Structure 1
Amino acid sequence: MDVQKNSRLYLLLVMGMLSAFGPFVTDFYLPGFPSITDYFKTSASMVQLSLTSSMLGLGLGQLFVGPLSDKYGRKPAILGSLVLFLLSTVACIFSPTIELFIVFRFIQGIAGSGGVVVSKSVAADLYKGKDLTAFFSMLMVVNGLGPIAAPVFGGITIKFTNWQGIFVVLLALGVILLISNLYLKESLLPEKRAKGNIFATFRNFGPILRNKQFMLYVLSQTTAVGFLFGYIASSPFIFQNHYQLGPIGYALCFAVNSLGVMLGSRIATFFRLQKSLIIGGISLFVLGCLLATILFLEGGLIVFELAIFAQMTALGIILPTTSSLALDIERKNSGAASAILGFLPFLSGSIVSPLVGLGNILTSTALVIFVSCLLSLVFTMVAIRNSRANEV
């Protein structure tokens, strides 16, 4: 029995929106940080904790949604996630305390994780090899529009309303996504779904985690993303407090930098996968050293902005390449494999985000960027060497 496919355009748009939705939820409310701080009469670190809890939810949720989608299909998993998102967003809007807001952000993160993991699994169900890389690359372009649009619209929204208005907009977007996914055709046929009880499905994590080559690709991406989350967590304070930009100015800088990820994802398609990974890994490290130096020396806004853009381009090369290489290895358990591929980067983000708030934010961010890029280069080179050894 052949799987029925939606049109490629539909898949690109809907899967792109799904994969971007979790990160979009994170970026959209960044311009509202000062407003949330004032509303709950709390500290900046407590508001940052809502970002950390959301990232934890985005990561942990994938560990459950991925295997569940292997067992019951992709469509039920994503529709259930979107319903949970709508409920948690309403709870965020009416949160009476910062503590409850943090809890509901965690649940919102779990809900958003469904789109991140299922979009990768659907791609792995329908495509393979170079076609999978090309689809991931196009997915990254659509996905890249989220970080571009999110802070811009967030900055505009906060200018005309309050932080609750941002979450009302998110609620409306969740409804639109839910309706759009009602037309999604199931990509995982019943005969290809995980057999046995649900606990047996979760046991698939063991063999995947023991797959050395798969994990090397995942760790290369995980540590590279540490730079991204460090930048996201510190960017409202660096741009608005250190460089004295307003919410709109900050949002525009954030949007321009996100274009770098889209550019990098297109560059990745011009090279073989292993070559792209080498180019991305080395570039990320060299540019990371440059960016860390600029932060240490408190360089000017234009220099900082150019360095961030270049760094995001290098990251854009790594993300689709490592995703394609990793999922091509674990095609049989793509839901669980996508869950691991999604969980570890967000776990990295939840660890990194509070670290940039320690002491001088410029210095701590510089250290996070340098260490993340160094570790990513190490895992990248070991992955390349291991892959070549296996081919001999």
Structure 2
Amino acid sequence: MSEVLQTDKPVRMNSRLFLLIAMGMMSAFGPFVTDFYLPGLPALAAWFGTTTSWVQLSLTTSMMGLAGGQLIIGPASDKYGRRGMLLISMALFIVSTVACLFSWNIESFVFFRVFQGIAGAGGVVISKSVAADLYQGKELADFFSLLMVINGLAPIIAPVVGGFVMKYTDWQGIFLILLGIGVILFIVSLVFRESLPKERRIAGSIFNSFGNFIPIMKNGRFMNYVWIQMFAMGVFFTYIASSPFLIQEYFHLDAFMYSLCFAINASGMIVGSRLTPRFDRVFNALSTGVYWLAGSSLCFVIVLVLGWSFYLLEALLFLMMVALGMILPTSTSLALTLERAKAGSASAIIGFFLFIFGAVVSPLTGFADMILSISVMTLVCCGLSLIFLVIAKKRLNTPD
């Protein structure tokens, strides 16, 4: 029996294949903007004659934009529909990317990256909202797992292409390619058919939509899944911020080899996402992912601190990404199922906490010796994710 949601009026829908590809591209777009220029971070620092900290700050500001933008775009899409907000987001990305290309110093570049992040937030929050508009139950979880396959392709393709581009051009060449992708996604947004009929939108003032944040955040079960996902992804953000310098400077691999390692690790997220439909219950898949992440992360830290083989370290990173591939779709599905009527605002809360935590974690990877910083951040994030999983298990059959 189909679990596609029914409405009082027939809704002209895009095909499931189009939705998977289009929403997958949109949801991966914000992270893609980050991953694509990772191989160029050291070169970017040299171009502007600045420090590693300033270059890493461009990651932080982008994530802050991704976080804050969702708090605006998510509720607005509950009020005005998904398609219009998607078009506005893609238009903003085009403008902000042009601004980055014409940056005159690192400060202006960091500033314009905020708006790139806000633009990317539209795709992240709306893609989840569209899925919640159209699907429910296990079909929703399966759709998210398929989205993760497409999402997983972004970090595979992005740094590999980025590393290749850096062999023949500079960071500006990377941003010209991003500009072209932004134009393509704007055209895709024009083809997308609205998934939220007017009769299901938030009535009254736009402030009614923003007012949904407080009751959603008071839902303890919903927030439990948010915390699980947020802290688990803290491991990923630690890796994202530190990997260019860890792999290229500590292990002395070039930009292309770094991109290849990054691609292998990102493919682990695809493997993990395709394991989730094999579980009879979504929560069981989530639990397995969290325990898997904790075990592989502990082994990773031991190998890193003891200075053992890079290849063993790489294998453990791959296993950690498999676990994250299981955690992301399942935690998102379980959370949105609890707040389906306010999917845009609920998606915004998930995304906000996820990316604001990423903005906090990224600079912390440099708070001390690199090995020590990575180890501490990885263990703390894994431990907190595990704690909130235990709490979620207790709440599963207990009303708040």
Query: Scaled by the length of structure 1, what TM-score is found?
Result: 0.99
Q: Is 1:77–2:55 an aligned residue pair?
A: no
Matched ranges for 1:164-179 at <5 A: 164-179=172-187
Q: Which residue is 1:123 aligned to?
A: 131
2:301 counterpart (292, 295, 303): 292
Q: Is 1:2–2:13 an aligned residue pair?
A: no
**Partner Cα separation in structure 2 for residue 60 and residue 289 of structure 1:** 32
**Partner Cα separation in structure 2 for residue 64 and residue 173 of structure 1:** 23
Q: Displacement, 1:336?
A: 0.1
**Partner Cα separation in structure 2 for residue 48 and residue 336 of structure 1:** 29
SS of the equivalent of 1:287 reads: helix
Once the two structures are superposed, residues 142-188 of structure 1 have per-residue CA deviations (whole angstroms, 9 ceiling, x without a partner) of 11100000000000111110111100000000001111111100000
Q: Displacement, 1:327?
A: 0.3
Q: Which residue is 2:249 aligned to?
A: 241
1:91 counterpart (82, 95, 99): 99
2:342 counterpart (296, 317, 333): 333
1:256 counterpart letter in structure 2? I
1:12 counterpart letter in structure 2? L
2:222 counterpart (207, 214, 228): 214
**Partner Cα separation in structure 2 for residue 106 and residue 247 of structure 1:** 25
Unmatched segments (≥5 aa) in structure 2: 1-8
1:208 counterpart letter in structure 2? I
Q: Displacement, 1:390?
A: 3.8
SS of the equivalent of 1:299 reads: coil
Unmatched segments (≥5 aa) in structure 1: none
Once the two structures are superposed, residues 92-114 of structure 1 have per-residue CA deviations (whole angstroms, 9 ceiling, x without a partner) of 01100101100000110000000
Matched ranges for 1:6-45 at <5 A: 6-45=14-53
Q: Which residue is 1:320 aligned to?
A: 329
Q: Which residue is 1:54 aligned to?
A: 62
2:270 counterpart (262, 275, 278): 262
**Partner Cα separation in structure 2 for residue 2 and residue 327 of structure 1:** 23
Q: Displacement, 1:295?
A: 1.7
**Partner Cα separation in structure 2 for residue 103 and residue 161 of structure 1:** 23
1:182 counterpart letter in structure 2? L
Q: Displacement, 1:299?
A: 2.2
Q: Displacement, 1:2?
A: 2.0
1:101 counterpart (94, 99, 109): 109
Contact 1:298–1:362 (Cα < 8 Å) also in 2: no
1:30 counterpart letter in structure 2? L
Q: Displacement, 1:283?
A: 1.0
2:36 counterpart letter in structure 1? F
Q: Displacement, 1:388?
A: 2.5
2:330 counterpart letter in structure 1? T
Once the two structures are superposed, residues 48-83 of structure 1 have per-residue CA deviations (whole angstroms, 9 ceiling, x without a partner) of 000010011111100100000001000001100000
- The number of residue pairs the alignment matches comes to 391
**Partner Cα separation in structure 2 for residue 361 and residue 322 of structure 1:** 30
Once the two structures are superposed, residues 258-291 of structure 1 have per-residue CA deviations (whole angstroms, 9 ceiling, x without a partner) of 0111111111111111111111111111111111
Q: Which residue is 1:346 aligned to?
A: 355
**Partner Cα separation in structure 2 for residue 50 and residue 243 of structure 1:** 24
The worse-fitting range, judged by mean Cα deviation, of 294-303 and 252-261 is 294-303
Q: Which residue is 2:120 aligned to?
A: 112
Contact 1:295–1:363 (Cα < 8 Å) also in 2: no
Matched ranges for 1:169-208 at <5 A: 169-208=177-216
Contact 1:79–1:181 (Cα < 8 Å) also in 2: yes
Q: Which residue is 1:134 aligned to?
A: 142
Query: Scaled by the length of structure 2, what TM-score is found?
Result: 0.97
